[in-house]
Amino acid sequence: MIISFIGPSGCGKGAESKRLCENEGFNIVSTGELLRKEYEDGTKIGKELYLKYWKNGEWVPDSIISRMLFTKLDKIKSDKIVLDAYPRTRKQALLLDRYLEKNNKSMDLVFIFNLDDKISEERILNREKGEEKRLDISDKAISNRLYNYHKNEDKIRNFYKKKVIDIDATLSIDTIYNMILKYIIN
């Protein structure tokens, strides 16, 4: 089963992905984690992407982030995969569908986490105050990330249509997790 978690920053995609990994044996492929690893490893591409896009809350170009994601997917042998924050654009969705089709797979479900921008901003800033220090947190970066998300959400929703499940991201983490389980276990 291949599922995707889409939503604005701070909506809980990562937390729910981790729970599926720990409790249900899913493999997480997170575009944010891929980018952070490249940067923290000091790779040339990691530094370039950070300076040019990520630091300012801009999205990394579709072809680059897709190539990084597909390289990671090629290493996963399990069919239980959750894509955290991918695809985010129609082009990414098209690239992903081609990749999956080539590998005799398909997207099963796309969970869209709905959250008000104010709450999203609060969660991002609170997360930054906690243990999880991020390199891409600034007022400008947050604003750009939310703008880019909203600019593309309907395109993803329309692309996947009947595979979309809306999630109220203001609900408790346990309630959301149980809702997700109902869809993936059936």
Residue 102: partners with Cβ closer than 8 Å, 6 or more residues away:
none
Residue 184 dihedral angles phi and psi, to the nearest 5°? -85, -20
Token pair 């797979």 is at which residue? 105
> Does residue 65 have a pLDDT over 70?
yes
Cα atoms in the Cβ-side hemisphere of radius 13 Å centred on 148: 22
Whole-structure pTM value: 0.92
Would you mind telling me the total number of residues written for the chain in this entry?
186
Model confidence pLDDT, tens digit, residues 123-138: 988 876 655 555 556 7
- CA dihedral in degrees (147, 162, 5, 71; nearest 10)? -100
Q: Which two tokens stand for residue 133?
A: 């220090």
Nearest to 87 by CA among 36, 22, 163: 163
Task: Tell me what pLDDT residue 23 has.
Answer: 97
Model confidence pLDDT, tens digit, residues 41-61: 999 999 999 889 987 888 999
**Which domains occur in the chain, in start order?**
2-185 (3.40.50.300)
